[in-house]
Structure 1
Amino acid sequence: MSVFSSVLLRSSVAARLRAAGCVFAEDEARILLAAATTPAQLAGMVRSRAQGRPLEHVVGWAEFGGLRISVDDGVFVPRRRSEFLVSTAAGLTGADALVVDLCCGSGALAAALVTAVGLPVEVYAADVDEAAVRCARRNLAAVGGRVFQGDLFEPLPAALRGRITVLLANVPYVPTADIELLPAEARLHEARPALDGGADGLDVLRRVAGQAPEWLAPGGSLLFETSERQAPEALAVAGAAGLDTALSWCEDLDATVVTATRR
């Protein structure tokens, strides 16, 4: 195919995506053209994206923390703002740290953290969703991560109690009543348990924070995202569990992270 015809094809794909409401149509057209191996596959991918399926589910991966993270249908797509959670955790992660990624989804947080610190790290992860666990196992295989399926801490080996250095927990924090206000990409294509945080959005956080002190090593930290609006109550939840709390905010990513440390 000539360069000229490639440009025309990209323009055509971008126009189709733009008409469907895709804000970054040109960038998405480039990604779809690179991913497709046949004209028929490209047509199917463009059609699927134009119908509202997340781009990451269409191509099967998401870019996060400089990595290409495998993301299957129905699995929570890692958001770029969560890179701030990773960078905050990286400052607390030394050699031979024991890292747990709870509510791990695709395992993107743990994978990006290990890459960021560039040190030997022992990694575990857990999620209640079977599809997410399959993805996380693929994404964490290169760093020797062990991934378990189950509810929060329940499936983790008991030997980890009192030993976790860094506990990443990207818990769902959208209030139940606000789920219907989310973009259709999330509302219709991602597992609801990965989004729904209960009546005030903090139900899962309460459960994680309540159990965290018995799993964290002395001086170990629980790190989680929250919204700016929920931050005061989220800090109170972690503080009520006996953890020392600190709030961080990244203007560029509009990301709010709480670090809650065992005394």
Structure 2
Amino acid sequence: MRTAPPAELVARLRSAGCVFAEEEAALLVETAENEAQLAELSNRRTGGEPLEQVLGWVAFDGLRLRLRPGVFVPRQRTTFLVQTAAALAPRRGVVADVCCGVGAVAAALAARRPDLDLFATDLDPVAVAVARENLPDQVGTGCGDLLTAVPLSWRGQLGVVVANTPYVPSAEISGLPPEAREHEPLATLDGGADGLDLQRRLAQQAPGWLAPGGRVLTEIAAAQTDAAVTAFAAAGFDARVRISAEWGSGVLVAQLSE
């Protein structure tokens, strides 16, 4: 039977604005090896650092994934992107996860669809190093801009390109929770004026990498539906957006027009 976390710690976390103070306190106690480490972890959390970075891991789609300070923390809503990709990827298909961060999407896809041939890329070498720790040996990784880090031998072979690109409009960054804007790299959040800068570049890059019938799947906000569809249509895609009421997120599904 789990012992209740110290009331003083719960009170500190609650005063710092932690909504789930009891649950967070229990996780901190479970993670710390001694009182000194518990004090260190607690101070980091009450100082505003994301809980997942303090713990060194995040729960995502049934997996426990490693994290480091200063990297993007996978959001639970991205589970809808994983679900959509798992449903649409062809049997024994070749899939590239770009803007992979710590490898959350690729790791979840590897667990859900072990038949897939997966490769994960990110521009940040620190994120790629963490992804390498989270991914099965058979999943390749590369460091580079979008699809440029995918092996050239995969060109024209991709059944799916899946991407959780930054998509927060620049003017809205200041409204994000402090733990995000102060502790996660700006490049993982800021998507440009309307949030779709990387989406547009991916739409232009992807056609040369896709196999016939291949798709690009990206996470977007519901308010970006029209602009995202227009961006991919301009690159020759037939695009639709799926909205999940369960997860509160959207996924653009773009397939090259026949």
Give the TM-score of the pair, scaled to structure 1. 0.94
Q: Counterparts of 1:155 and 1:10 in 2: how far apart (Å)?
A: 47
Q: Counterparts of 1:10 and 1:159 in 2: how far apart (Å)?
A: 56
**SS where residue 30 of structure 1 aligns?**
helix
- Is 1:227 matched up with 2:221? yes
2:233 aligns with 239
Count of residues in Structure 1 that have an aligned counterpart in Structure 2: 257
Shift of 1:143: 4.8
Give the 5 Å matches for 1:105-184.
105-117=101-113, 119-140=114-135, 142-184=136-178
Give the 5 Å matches for 1:79-98.
79-98=75-94
Shift of 1:36: 0.9
2:56 aligns with 60
Residue 59 of structure 1 aligns with an amino acid whose one-letter code is: L
- Is 1:27 matched up with 2:23? yes
1:20-49: per-residue Cα shift (whole Å, max 9, x none)?
Answer: 001111111121111111111111111110
Mark the CA change 1:77 to 1:65 in structure 2 (over 3 Å): closer, same or farther: same
Shift of 1:93: 2.3
Q: Counterparts of 1:250 and 1:155 in 2: how far apart (Å)?
A: 31
Show structure 2 runs of 5+ residues with no match. Answer: none
Select the residue among 11, 31, 37 that pairs with 1:41.
37
Q: Counterparts of 2:137 and 2:80 in 1: how far apart (Å)?
A: 21
**SS where residue 135 of structure 1 aligns?**
helix
1:210 aligns with 204
Instruction: Work out whether residues 111 and 143 of structure 1, in 8 Å CA contact, stay in contact via their aligned partners in 2.
Output: no
Q: Counterparts of 1:204 and 1:114 in 2: how far apart (Å)?
A: 25
Q: Counterparts of 1:15 and 1:207 in 2: how far apart (Å)?
A: 47
1:203-240: per-residue Cα shift (whole Å, max 9, x none)?
Answer: 11100011111111111111001111111101111111
1:250 aligns with 244
Greater than 3 Å deviation, 4+ residue runs: none
Residue 7 of structure 2 aligns with an amino acid whose one-letter code is: S
Residue 244 of structure 2 aligns with an amino acid whose one-letter code is: C
**SS where residue 153 of structure 1 aligns?**
helix
Q: Counterparts of 1:254 and 1:10 in 2: how far apart (Å)?
A: 34
Q: Counterparts of 2:152 and 2:223 in 1: how far apart (Å)?
A: 35
Q: Counterparts of 1:232 and 1:121 in 2: how far apart (Å)?
A: 31
Instruction: Work out whether residues 121 and 144 of structure 2, in 8 Å CA contact, stay in contact via their aligned partners in 1.
Output: yes
Instruction: Work out whether residues 158 and 209 of structure 2, in 8 Å CA contact, stay in contact via their aligned partners in 1.
Output: yes
Q: Counterparts of 1:259 and 1:143 in 2: how far apart (Å)?
A: 28
Residue 39 of structure 1 aligns with an amino acid whose one-letter code is: E
Give the TM-score of the pair, scaled to structure 2. 0.96
1:181-210: per-residue Cα shift (whole Å, max 9, x none)?
Answer: 111111011111111111111111100011
Instruction: Work out whether residues 100 and 124 of structure 1, in 8 Å CA contact, stay in contact via their aligned partners in 2.
Output: yes
Mark the CA change 1:55 to 1:246 in structure 2 (over 3 Å): closer, same or farther: same
Show structure 1 runs of 5+ residues with no match. Answer: none
Residue 132 of structure 1 aligns with an amino acid whose one-letter code is: A
- Is 1:11 matched up with 2:7? yes
Residue 38 of structure 1 aligns with an amino acid whose one-letter code is: N
